[in-house]
Amino acid sequence: MSLKSPTLGTILARRIAFFAVLAMVVQLAVIFSDYYWNVGELSRLFVEQETERLASGITAEENDTVRYRLPESVEGRYGQAQTGYVARIRGADGELVFQSCDSACESRFLPPDVNPPDFWLRSLSPGKPLTLVGGRAFTVGGQRFVIDVATMGDPQDVISDVLWNEVIAHMIVPMSILLVLVLGATLLSVRQALKPVRIAAEAAERIDPMDSRSHLQFQDMPREVAHLAEAVNRAFERVGELMKSQKILTSGIAHEVRTPLAAIKLELGHIDHPRARKAEADLDDLVRFVSQITALARLDTFDHGMFEEVDLVELSSSVVEQLAPWVYENDHSLELSAQVDAAIVQGVPALLRDAVRNLIENAVRHTPIRTAIIVRVANGRIRVEDQHPAAVNTFATQSDGLGIGLKIVERIAAIHRGSLRCSSSQRGHAFDLEIGS
């Protein structure tokens, strides 16, 4: 898996952001077309926003004292004459609070003796640029104020600010909130939905393909991903069936080959000639070679579901006891040296016995007579030593197995998550069979 591949959350975030921007562009076009060509709506928004800016400068104190300071945002329009914009602020009793015009205001605004409505608007010239007059009532500090504004042609293009404020209020703010909520909810949902998938992926890393019990748990997965997990489990079931069929095949081969070899050896036993005895020895080597080939093929289809607790001391002791008569017949000695609490490991007793047996037989066959063979067991390790200075161990190159015996031991060690190491010294050679935990 490439680390450059984007995660599902990244892909969704990118696509949601893309379509959100696309929706904002479409909505911007809708807002622009809805407001820009609607002069009446623009005029209303102009009066509302300008009067709000002017009203922000009113300060009404508890003793009915009213103070006014022209806000900086509108000072350039209403702080001096002949700008194309005029404004007037009156109290509830008609008292003048602020005005940016002279007697011309009287002709544009409502007369002082008229009780103005909360909002009023009159267009002086149709179309754009805007030419209008209007007003709006505000309550500040418990007092009512009437603010009137007018523009002649909108020379400072205030209408652009009006449109931009509408875009912010009706598109950017709500869409941003919606985008954050949708994106956050989506990513959270994806993370929660993929949690069992991540757990299954971690479990898949630990799956042993040689264990027929290995499978993925898919109960809490989304349905689409659960189908993949079920397919993986079915694949492992098929692997298990293949392993069983290969075991049957190798067993059949061994049986078919051993039967004619046994018959040939039986016929050779009736011949009283040195060459017949030499042929019998060669036949024994061939039988052993076939057995090793069959054992190696069986290991390739081994099922880790057969693991159980194994006492290495007890196992080594049984192998030594079984091979001791044969070792003594070949003019060698065999000794077992083990710690009482050497190790309890998880493994297959039959395979470990085969490994120890192979190492002992190797030491006997490829060392001079009267060589001391010592089997040591300690700390999850079985060591087979041949203590003879002149010993020449050719375990990996002898013609009786072409190294197959060594391959079998190495394969057994690998199955048990261990290793096989060979070392030499002046005292002889040693093979260390490490058993993993």
Token pair for residue 177?
Answer: 């909130």
pLDDT in tens, 363-408: 888 888 888 999 988 888 888 988 875 544 444 434 344 466 777 8
For 100-119, write each residue's pLDDT tens digit.
876 666 677 887 777 888 89
Half-sphere exposure of 358 (CA within 13 A, CB side): 31
pLDDT digits (tens, 9 = 90+) for 247-266: 677 667 766 777 777 788 77
361, pLDDT greater than 80:
yes
Please compute Rg for the chain using Cα positions: 48
**Cα–Cα distance, 155 to 165 (Å, whole number):** 19
Q: How confident is the model at residue 189 (pLDDT cuts 50, 70, 90)?
A: confident
pLDDT reported for residue 145:
92
- Name the percent of the chain lying above pLDDT 70: 84
Q: What is 250-284 written as a DSSP string?
A: HHHHHHHHHHHHHHHHHHHTT--SHHHHHHHHHHH
Domains and CATH numbers, the chain: 38-156 (3.30.450.140), 223-299 (1.10.287.130), 307-434 (3.30.565.10)
pLDDT at 75 over 60: yes
- Give the type of residue at 192: Q
- State how far the alpha carbon of 287 is from the alpha carbons of 231, 290, 291, in Å: 43, 5, 6
If pLDDT is split at 50, 70 and 90, which confidence band does 135 have? very high
Which band of pLDDT confidence, cut at 50, 70 and 90, is reported for residue 354?
confident
pLDDT of residue 161: 85
Model pLDDT, residue 402: 42
Neighbouring CB atoms inside 10 A of 415's CB total 23
